[in-house]
Amino acid sequence: MKYISRIFWIALGCTFLFPLYWMISIALKSKSEAYENPFGIPSSWKWQNFSEALSKYNYFTYLENSLIYTLGTIAITLASGSMLAYCLSRMQWRFNSSALFYVSLGLIVPIEVVVIPLFQLIKLLHLKDSYWALILPYSGFAIASCVLMLYAFLRSLPKELEEAACIDGTNVYQAFFKIIFPIIMPALVTQCVLIFIRIWNEFPLAFIIASKDQFRPLTVGLLSFFVNVGVSDWGLIGATMFLSSLPMIIVYMIGNEKIENALTAGAILK
């Protein structure tokens, strides 16, 4: 009984990993083998799919764009979000609770439903062909959960924290960067991981707004590549899929524990 349940769990775990195996195995197969033996182990390893992928697929452009979008969003969201959270939790402002409520409304509406006006707004602000066209809306939508999480974190800290700084004659900006910033680091790391996973894999908005190839992130670039190749060359498709997922797979392998904690942190706080 014990062994049966153990085997069942291993098998179940493997069903989640099967696509990873399949992506790699099909990438190593020749065109004809991909059809004759689509799910088995490749008979011999052929690397030409990868070299073909690197020459036909603008991998490094898309990779660079994904990095710019993700890191840009993280920087802007964490900087502005932590400042607002600090203001709402520690400063005496008449509108603290109403501002908090206002920001929390951002959790209800999914970004997809405002794609059309956002598209118009980006054109109006002349941001259309720049990285800001995605970074700014992404940040706007990431701020709600960032502020709420940091607010909860800051509220749990003792009020006396900045008092010493106050006596030393430090001003509020120095106090924020030298005292508060290091303390809220764990929460910032959590937010960083959450935003990274979300923006790195974001598709619906990028699909509409990054219409020029040179501004496409990996998710959208990959789809347009699939559409161009058609469904004839699965070896090539497998290679591009693997290359596109590789950064995330590496991040996941290194920061497995951190990612797990970050993804589940929101559930505990709420």
Stretch of 41-49, 53-61, 181-189, 245-253 lying at the interface with another protein (CB under 8 A): 245-253
Which whole-number Å values give the CA distances from 252 to 18, 68, 248, in the listed order?
A: 16, 19, 6
Site for another protein, residues 16 to 35, rule: CB under 8 A: 16-17, 19-20, 22-23, 26, 35
Q: Report CA torsion sign: 87, 89, 95, 101.
A: positive
Interacting residue with another protein among 200, 216, 235, 239 (CB under 8 A): 200
- Contact at 8 Å (CB) between 81 and 191? yes
Site for another protein, residues 49 to 68, rule: CB under 8 A: none
Taking 3-state DSSP, the helix, strand and coil percentages for the chain, each rounded to the nearest 5, stand at: 80, 0, 20
Site for another protein, residues 201 to 230, rule: CB under 8 A: 201, 203-204, 207-208, 218-220, 222-223, 226
- Measuring CA to CA, which residue among 206, 229, 227 is closest to residue 53? 229
Q: Which is nearer to another protein, 119 or 185 (CB)?
A: 119
Give the type of residue at 83: M
Q: Which is nearer to another protein, 16 or 45 (CB)?
A: 16
Residue 171 CA to residue 26 CA, distance in Å, equals 60
Stretch of 41-49, 51-59, 80-88, 181-189 lying at the interface with another protein (CB under 8 A): 80-88
Least Cβ distance, residue 80 to another protein (angstroms): 4
Interacting residue with another protein among 30, 58, 61, 245 (CB under 8 A): 245
Site for another protein, residues 83 to 122, rule: CB under 8 A: 83-84, 86-88, 90-93, 99, 102-103, 105-106, 108-118, 120-121
Least Cβ distance, residue 126 to another protein (angstroms): 14
185 binds another protein (CB under 8 A): no
Cβ neighbours of residue 122 closer than 8 Å, sequence gap 6 or more? 128, 133, 137, 209
Q: How many CB atoms lie within 10 A of CB 43?
A: 12
